[in-house]
Amino acid sequence: MADPPLIQLTGITRIYGSGEIAVHALDGVDLTIEAGEFVAIMGPSGSGKSTAMNVIGCLDSPTGGQYRFNGIEVAGLSRDQRALLRRHFLGFVFQGYNLLPRSSALHNVELPLIYKGVGRAQRRAAATEALGKVGLAGRAHHDPSELSGGQQQRVAIARALVGDPQVVLADEPTGNLDTRTSVEIMEMLQALNRDEGLTIVMVTHEADMAAYADRLIWMVDGRIARDEPTRKAS
């Protein structure tokens, strides 16, 4: 019997509010993502791409439908159970980096391991290795305020990678960066996907950035409008 798909959404709805003013952010989404894919989600604002990201990232619970992660039904899980799922299987990269201010890059990268209960020495080693992987070995003891935007985003990527996740979810990872730095970040994500088989799901509104992915999902009004390989992959 084949492994279940890594991510499998079936008829997912997410409704904010109720009655007349109810907003159907997701309106019946069916989506399957296999391990090793690099998927970009695009769409106009209000199309539900961020909500889809939050549901996939187990930050939000869908109103209806089925979400199986590695075969586990997520929709019915409690807040704390979803936190455990995020802790052990997911990594996040945000548009605004979301690093802890006044904490060194090393401490920021260590953070997920603290919650995993990894010992101090082992944590140090893993965080240092992850920082090396994103090319910031020399900046371990710098605070975010002492790093450029691109460097901060690379610290965030190191933080997402350090726990050895099954999926990295990137929400507009290049949204705050200039073109040259954006390209660097995208090349880094692409390399991680290609060389280490890391599954990446990325939300973006820039077609240039989406082109680094293998598969492009286009959302409109809470539904998937198109689901196709990118030109590069075809």
Check binding of 88 to another protein (CB under 8 A). Answer: yes
Q: Which of 22, 23, 84, 207 binds another protein (CB under 8 A)?
A: 84
Q: Draw the binding track, 34-73, toward another protein (x: CB under 8 A; -: no contact).
A: --------------------x--x-xx-------------
Nearest distance in Å: CB 60, another protein = 6
Residue number with CB closer to another protein (107 or 223): 107
One of 28, 30, 35, 94 touching another protein (CB under 8 A):
94
CA distances from 75 to 3, 68, 115, 174, 231 (A): 20, 8, 23, 30, 34
How many residues touch another protein (CB under 8 A)? 27
One residue of 1, 79, 138, 145 binding another protein per CB under 8 A: 79
Q: 44-50 long-range CB contacts below 8 Å, 24 or more apart?
A: 44/205, 44/220, 45/205, 47/219, 47/220, 47/221, 47/222, 48/14, 48/219, 48/221, 48/222, 48/223, 49/203, 49/219, 50/171, 50/203
| Residues between 142 and 181 with contacts to another protein, criterion CB under 8 A | 159, 163
